């Protein structure tokens, strides 16, 4: 099975500033991939590169084995819901569906219609007068009904209220279950990612700091607490992601392939949120910056 | 793709049809009366010797009558502005608008390549802009036919374009408006692709288009074909402008707007030369010492008797269509080059 996304040394520079640097990734197909990171970490840039909206400054990226946006066939295989769910304000809901039907050979008219009907959208309503949630749903209907193999969603729920957000994600889950679809979804809301994603990419400071299946990431990361001591005294194979110390106690978030056996430490499981926050704070300089390079 | 292009272009197309209809109604309502005025002027059966003077008087009458002069100026202005308007309001927002609203991400992620997307957009918008401008042009040509006939009879007028090479007349007749429309639209699209914001792109489009339309008649058009030169007696000139000279000054300049034997020629430059063929602006002594009551006519006669002649650089009237085709070709080539650049830029991932 080809990978959904493979990147080699991928970077994108705007003038002198790197929006994404030195990104090497291989995301297997068949996952719902969560792309998390603080604002400005490069999430949109990575997704733009994956859809061919942007051209890489360095390195290469392949999506489903092809160059992003390289032709009709490649375009047909990837659905993209851009940030803010752009739709044509002057076109009606029905016009948008017609647009999808005219421009996509694999268009699933029944699917599109049933989604729009379920959302109670008036086909004659102009898209410009839809609410944020309805607009996102319409844009999702367009992206899904073209029957892509990979669906790329950039902050699809950012502008939605909690109820609409849950409905949207539920909808998305149904679509992926029905269609055998790979999904890459960016968000800065970790709870949403946790609910729907089984694969995680953490971006911080324009770099990929962690990537892997969620359960694997959770299984290899531990929270250690014990009497204060130097993190350097940990055995090999254990990497400290973040550390906080009080006068008497140290709390470490570590990555370790094997169990940590030292009885000094109280070892506890961590949540996905703890894990993501630890990586983010590490990369933004609030944690231990020198581990940035080690982690990749 | 054609469906989406048409759906998105529908509002502009309706506006264009409405504008064409309004222009047509205005001209259709006033045109027949202009024909009546022409018929009443007696120009259609005039004696060849008196035609030019009669035609000049008729045009002056139209100018004094005001209405038809205003309509004439207005219709020319509409034709000259149409390419700028379509470039500004159709061309500039084409890509910039999609980028600004983010809908570029929607448009360019359907199963249609950007090349095809742009090809459809450029074709529909560009060809419509050309059709609109040429439509205005043809309607105006029909309406202004009596004025054109009067000019053809040799009328001179400072108010109506007395020559087909007049900057405004040349740019609003024939096929040049087609070139301007294509260029204006492609320029707008390119500015939008580069600047990525519609309003600044519109401003830049207007500035460049205006600069091109000023540079073309002033500096480029006269040099598109090598000029012809003629040296003629100063007494043979029908309309002259004399600056300085006469009994009180030895410095003079003698200009002209026509050339004997070359009706309708485009005079590029004119000046006097002495008997040796050298350019001169100093009147010979005999011509400056005459009594002051003698007229300009006598001064000219005196210059002629001293061997001073008028040297004229001009483009013959027969070259009119060569100029029309060349200029239209230049603008169409510029439009194609700009379009090619847009294809290249869009292919390289714009955002």
pLDDT one-digit tens code per residue, B106-152: 999 999 999 999 999 999 999 999 999 999 999 999 999 999 888 88
If asked whether residues B162 and B279 sit together in one domain, one would say: no
What is the interface pTM, i.e. ipTM, of the complex? 0.86
If asked whether residues B171 and B300 sit together in one domain, one would say: no
How close B199 comes to chain A (CA, Å)? 18
If asked whether residues B211 and B74 sit together in one domain, one would say: yes
If asked whether residues B310 and B330 sit together in one domain, one would say: no
How close A52 comes to chain B (CA, Å)? 7
CB proximity A53 to B under 8 Å = yes
- What residues of chain B lie within 8 A of the CB of A138, using their CB? none
CB contact under 8 A, B105 and A82: yes
Q: pLDDT digits over A117-143, tens only? A: 888 888 999 999 998 888 988 999 999
Of A54, A89, A102, nearest to B351 by CB-CB distance is: A54
Mean pLDDT over the full length of chain B:
90
If asked whether residues B242 and B336 sit together in one domain, one would say: no
Alpha carbon A215 to its chain centroid, in Å, reads 16
**Would you place residue A296 in the very low, low, confident or very high pLDDT band (cuts 50, 70, 90)?**
very low
CB proximity A87 to B under 8 Å = yes
Of B3, B114, B349, nearest to A54 by CB-CB distance is: B349
Rounded Cα–Cα distance for residues B80 and A153 (Å): 47
Domain of B143?
2-223+320-347
If asked whether residues B275 and B244 sit together in one domain, one would say: yes
pLDDT at position A293 is 37
Rounded Cα–Cα distance for residues B272 and B250 (Å): 13
If asked whether residues B250 and B284 sit together in one domain, one would say: yes
- What residues of chain A lie within 8 A of the CB of B344, using their CB? none
Task: Mention every residue, 6+ apart, whose C-beta is less than 8 A from residue A142.
Answer: A87, A96, A97, A99, A100, A112, B106
For residue B95, pLDDT beyond 90 = yes
**Would you place residue A294 in the very low, low, confident or very high pLDDT band (cuts 50, 70, 90)?**
very low
Can you say whether the dihedral through the CA atoms of B325, B328, B332, B338 is positive or negative?
A: positive
- What residues of chain B lie within 8 A of the CB of A75, using their CB? 109-113
Of A80, A83, A98, nearest to B109 by CB-CB distance is: A80
- What residues of chain B lie within 8 A of the CB of A82, using their CB? 102, 105-106, 109
CB contact under 8 A, A72 and B1: no
What SS3 state is found at A239? strand
Q: pLDDT digits over B183-223, tens only? A: 999 999 999 999 999 999 999 999 999 999 999 999 999 99
Selected residue of A14, A67, A75 to mutate for chain B interface (largest B Cβ count, 10 A): A75
How much helix, strand and coil, in percent to the nearest 5, is found in chain A? Answer: 35, 30, 35
| E-assigned strand segments in chain B | 228-233, 240-244, 252-256, 266-273, 309-315
Integer angstrom CA distances of residue B330 from B179, B190, B223? 8, 17, 13
- What residues of chain A lie within 8 A of the CB of B7, using their CB? 91, 95, 98-99
What residues 129-148 of chain A have any CB closer than 8 A to a CB of chain B? 139, 142-143, 146
If asked whether residues B171 and B256 sit together in one domain, one would say: no
For residue A268, pLDDT beyond 90 = no
Rounded average pLDDT over A213-219: 89
If asked whether residues B55 and B169 sit together in one domain, one would say: yes
If asked whether residues B330 and B250 sit together in one domain, one would say: no
Rounded Cα–Cα distance for residues B2 and A117 (Å): 27
CB contact under 8 A, B106 and A82: yes
Of A53, A89, A105, nearest to B351 by CB-CB distance is: A53
pLDDT at position B280 is 84
CB contact under 8 A, A105 and B111: yes
If asked whether residues B154 and B273 sit together in one domain, one would say: no
CB contact under 8 A, A83 and B348: no
**Would you place residue B104 in the very low, low, confident or very high pLDDT band (cuts 50, 70, 90)?**
very high
What SS3 state is found at A215? helix
- What residues of chain A lie within 8 A of the CB of B8, using their CB? 88, 90-91
Of B11, B113, B349, nearest to A72 by CB-CB distance is: B113
Q: What tokens appear for A86 in the block?
A: 């752009």
Q: Are A32 and A196 in contact (CB under 8 A)?
A: yes
Give chain B's domain count.
2
If asked whether residues B184 and B285 sit together in one domain, one would say: no
What percentage of chain B carries pLDDT values higher than 90? 62
**What is the model's pTM?**
0.89
CB contact under 8 A, A53 and B3: no
CB proximity A200 to B under 8 Å = no
Rounded average pLDDT over B77-88: 96
How close B40 comes to chain A (CA, Å)? 54
Name the superfamily (CATH) of residues A3-205: P-loop containing nucleotide triphosphate hydrolases (3.40.50.300)
Q: Which residues of B touch A (CB under 8 A)?
A: 1, 3-4, 7-8, 11, 101-106, 108-114, 348-349, 351
CB proximity A264 to B under 8 Å = no
């Amino acid at each position: 099975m080809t990978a959904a996304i493979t990147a080699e040394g991928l970077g994108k520079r705007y003038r002198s500033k790197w929006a994404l640097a030195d990104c090497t990734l291989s995301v297997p197909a068949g996952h719902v991939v969560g792309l998390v990171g603080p604002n400005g970490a490069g999430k949109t840039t990575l997704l733009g590169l994956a859809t061919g909206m942007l051209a890489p400054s360095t390195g290469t990226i392949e999506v489903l084995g092809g160059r992003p946006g390289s032709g009709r066939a490649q375009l047909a295989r990837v659905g993209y819901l851009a940030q803010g769910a752009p739709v044509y304000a002057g076109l009606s809901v029905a016009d948008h569906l017609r647009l999808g039907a005219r421009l996509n050979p694999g268009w699933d008219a029944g699917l599109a219609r049933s989604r729009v009907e379920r959302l109670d959208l008036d086909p004659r309503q102009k898209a410009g007068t839809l609410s944020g949630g309805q607009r996102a749903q319409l844009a999702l209907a367009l992206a899904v009904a073209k029957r892509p193999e990979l669906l790329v969603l950039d902050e699809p729920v950012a502008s939605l209220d909690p109820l609409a957000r849950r409905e949207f994600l539920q909808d998305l889950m149904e679509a992926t279950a029905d269609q055998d679809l790979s999904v890459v979804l960016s968000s800065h809301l970790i709870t949403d990612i946790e609910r729907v994603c089984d694969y995680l990419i953490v971006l911080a400071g324009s770099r990929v700091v962690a990537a892997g299946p969620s359960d694997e990431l959770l299984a290899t990361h531990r929270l250690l607490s014990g009497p204060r001591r130097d993190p350097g005294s940990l055995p090999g194979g254990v990497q400290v992601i973040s550390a906080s110390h009080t006068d008497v106690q140290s709390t470490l978030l570590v990555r370790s392939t094997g169990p940590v056996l030292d009885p000094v430490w109280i070892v506890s499981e961590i949540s996905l949120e703890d894990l993501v926050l630890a990586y983010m704070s590490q990369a933004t300089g609030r944690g231990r910056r020198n581990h940035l390079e080690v982690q990749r | 793709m054609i469906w989406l292009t048409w759906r998105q272009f529908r509002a502009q197309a309706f506006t264009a049809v409405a504008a064409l209809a309004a222009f047509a109604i205005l001209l259709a309502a006033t045109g027949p009366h202009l024909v009546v005025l022409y018929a009443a002027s007696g120009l259609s059966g005039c004696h060849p010797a008196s035609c030019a003077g009669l035609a000049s008087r008729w045009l002056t009458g139209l100018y004094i009558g005001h209405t038809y002069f205003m309509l004439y100026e207005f219709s020319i202005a509409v034709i000259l502005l149409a390419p700028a308007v379509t470039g500004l309001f159709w061309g500039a927002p084409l890509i910039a608008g999609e980028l600004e609203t983010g809908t570029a991400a929607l448009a360019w992620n359907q199963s249609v390549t950007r090349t095809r997307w742009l090809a459809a957009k450029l074709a529909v918008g560009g060809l419509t802009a050309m059709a609109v401008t040429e439509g205005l042009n043809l309607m105006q040509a029909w309406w202004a036919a009596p004025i054109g006939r009067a000019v053809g009879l040799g009328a001179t007028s400072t108010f109506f374009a007395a020559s087909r090479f007049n900057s405004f007349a040349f740019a609003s007749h024939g096929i040049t408006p087609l070139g301007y429309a294509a260029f204006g639209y492609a320029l707008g699209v390119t500015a939008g692709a580069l600047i990525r914001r519609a309003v600044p792109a519109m401003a830049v489009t207007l500035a460049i288009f205006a600069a091109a339309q000023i540079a073309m008649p002033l500096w480029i058009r006269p040099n598109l074909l090598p000029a012809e030169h003629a040296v003629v007696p100063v007494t043979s000139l029908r309309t002259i402008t004399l600056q300085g000279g006469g009994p009180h000054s030895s410095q003079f300049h003698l200009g002209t707007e026509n050339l004997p034997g070359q009706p309708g020629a485009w005079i590029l430059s004119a000046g006097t030369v002495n008997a040796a063929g050298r350019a001169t602006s100093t009147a010979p002594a005999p011509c400056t010492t005459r009594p002051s009551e003698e007229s300009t006519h006598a001064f000219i006669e005196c210059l002629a008797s001293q061997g001073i002649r008028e040297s004229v650089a001009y483009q013959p009237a027969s070259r009119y269509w060569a100029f029309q085709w060349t200029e239209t070709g230049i603008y169409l080539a510029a439009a194609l080059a700009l379009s090619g650049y847009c294809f290249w830029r869009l292919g390289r991932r714009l955002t």
